[in-house]
Chains A and B, each alone.
Chain A
């Protein structure tokens, strides 16, 4: 499968797909998207690289422990829930504020975005962990 075209195109596409997945993640609350979709998108992009270049090439470039990703994701998602408890609300209760950020302007910041980031990390980590364990097995 490693034709020149495939290599070139996938190299060019990888950053774009990853950027797109992040945009899906952040836009999820108001538009189609969200942690699940963004995560699967990211996982697809990386698995494309695995398929085109082979495991060893990718590992040489960027050796990652995907298990850490889903560990951190679970932590982030749970902490979002516990965060609400610190303010005396129920577990996972959401809240939102409007803030003015530099460059972006007036922005809505919602606590569930952090939960979604947790979901995103878990989906990426979980799927790619499966993928890598399977690919590594000789």
Chain B
């Protein structure tokens, strides 16, 4: 997948989500938050997706071999990032960001559900889904 176009798409999702959470309508705010969480998930996963090109699951043929990274972090020589030794290559995409995002997806489902039901209960108690209206009612 191409880098620049993907970056523009993610940034557009952020922009649209931001516009929606600035609305007065509670349900729209909830939808906006959903879009924002989609965009965030995409951003996190895409940041690790271009490291390697293999799914982070060890299949049998390279079960024994390592990914080929040497762990040196020699600050005195100005080397900050891990060194890839000759011939070895980054074969897996970053699994950590995927693990983070996996829980984020499920949790955002639970919290969005909570948010939606909060909206519904607010509507029941106050008879409106207008946020500015609710503020006025509370006094």
CB distance from A1 to the nearest CB of B (A): 20
Report whether B114 and A130 are in contact in the complex, using a CB–CB cutoff of 8 Å: yes
Report whether B110 and A130 are in contact in the complex, using a CB–CB cutoff of 8 Å: yes
Report whether A40 and B106 are in contact in the complex, using a CB–CB cutoff of 8 Å: yes
Contact with A along B107-118 (1 / 0, CB 8 A): 001100110010
Report whether A36 and B114 are in contact in the complex, using a CB–CB cutoff of 8 Å: no
For chain A, what secondary structure do more than half of its interface residues adopt (helix, strand, loop), or is it mixed? helix
Interface residues of B, count at CB 8 A: 9
Chain B residue numbers with a CB within 8 Å of A31 are 57
Chain A residue numbers with a CB within 8 Å of B102 are 34, 36-37
Report whether A126 and B57 are in contact in the complex, using a CB–CB cutoff of 8 Å: no
**A interface residues, Cβ below 8 angstroms from B:** 30-32, 34, 36-37, 39-40, 123, 126-127, 130, 133-134
Beyond A36-B102, A36-B106, A123-B106, whether A130 also contacts B117 by CB under 8 A is: yes
For chain B, what secondary structure do more than half of its interface residues adopt (helix, strand, loop), or is it mixed? helix
- Top 10 A-B pairs, shortest CB-CB distance: A130-B113, A36-B106, A36-B102, A126-B110, A134-B117, A123-B106, A40-B106, A31-B57, A36-B103, A127-B110
Report whether A127 and B57 are in contact in the complex, using a CB–CB cutoff of 8 Å: no
CB distance from A124 to the nearest CB of B (A): 11
Q: Can you name 13 A-B pairs with beta carbons within 8 Å?
A: A30-B57, A31-B57, A36-B102, A36-B103, A36-B106, A37-B102, A39-B106, A123-B106, A127-B109, A127-B110, A130-B114, A134-B113, A134-B117
Cα-based distance from A30 to B56 in the complex (angstroms): 10
Closest partner residue, chain A, to B105 (CB atom): A36
Closest partner residue, chain B, to A34 (CB atom): B102
Complex partner residue of A32 from B57, B109, B113, CB under 8 angstroms: B57
Chain A residue numbers with a CB within 8 Å of B103 are 36
CB distance from A131 to the nearest CB of B (A): 8
Chain B residue numbers with a CB within 8 Å of A134 are 113, 117
Closest partner residue, chain B, to A133 (CB atom): B117
Chain B residue numbers with a CB within 8 Å of A126 are 110
Chain B residue numbers with a CB within 8 Å of A133 are 117
CB distance from A110 to the nearest CB of B (A): 15
